[in-house]
Amino acid sequence: MAFGSPLSFTDTMPIVSPGFTGRRQSPDVELPPGQYLAEDFPVLTAGPTPRVTTDRWQFTINTEAGLRYDWSWQQLIEMPAEKITTDIHCVTKWSKLGTRWKGVSLDVLLEDVETAADFALVQSYGGYTTNLPLEDLIDGQAWIAYRYDGEELTPEHGGPARLLVPHLYFWKSAKWVRGIQLLLEDEPGFWESAGYHDYGDPWREQRYQGD
């Protein structure tokens, strides 16, 4: 497993205690180029925080052929969930280590979806969008996360649910996620259409177009 990859484990496995100090110290860790270690969890937002109640929350996958698949909140939380412990890297240069999430793998949500798409445009309540290759959403790399650090995901951090795709810069992990449009051609999202990189690999420091 490459450094920085998420560790995924089932609900029944014990969480290993990080020890008395509770934190890994910065000299011992390797961060992606240009990143610094954050101990807090900065809140970034491009607009007012949407307040989406779970009774009207819905997650939808639309395919390139016009097929539509959707899930209510109740359906989501009744699906098999995973606990994920992972490092996250924001393009504004902070990284946070060992963040703990719970959510449903996109592998589960995409299991019965018929598609020939290569790309995904992720859509959020509030209008935010972000694009990435579909292959980066599968094979245990992405989740619809609804718990953070043992608590319900707060609206400030994207609750009730956000995308978690931690191997890419964190702007790809769309807060307040409401759906995914599957596409045959890549379509730039909110930041990608204003200078940011279409892929955004922190280990290759793909911050801006042309990086």
Q: How many CB atoms are closer than 10 A to CB 21?
A: 7
Binding flag, residue 46, other proteins (CB under 8 A): yes
Select 18 or 127, whichever has its Cβ closest to other proteins.
127
71 and 109 Cβ atoms separated by less than 8 Å: yes
Q: Compute the least distance from the CB of residue 168 to other proteins, in Å.
A: 13
In the three-class reduction of DSSP (H, G, I as helix; E, B as strand; rest coil), residue 134 is classed as: helix
Site for other proteins (CB under 8 A): which residue of 139, 149, 151, 156? 156
- 10 Å Cβ neighbour count for 88? 24
Backbone angles phi, psi at 44, to 5 degrees: -110, 140
Amino acid type, 184? L
Options 60, 74, 154, 193; binder of other proteins; rule CB under 8 A: 193
Estimate to the nearest angstrom the gap between the alpha carbon of 183 and the chain centroid: 19
The size of the chain, in residues, is 211
> Interface with other proteins includes 101 (CB under 8 A)?
no
Nearer to other proteins, 15 or 43 (CB): 43
Binding mask 76-95 for other proteins (x = CB under 8 A): ---------------xx---
| Residues near other proteins (CB under 8 A) | 42-49, 91-92, 127, 156, 171, 190-191, 193-196, 207-208
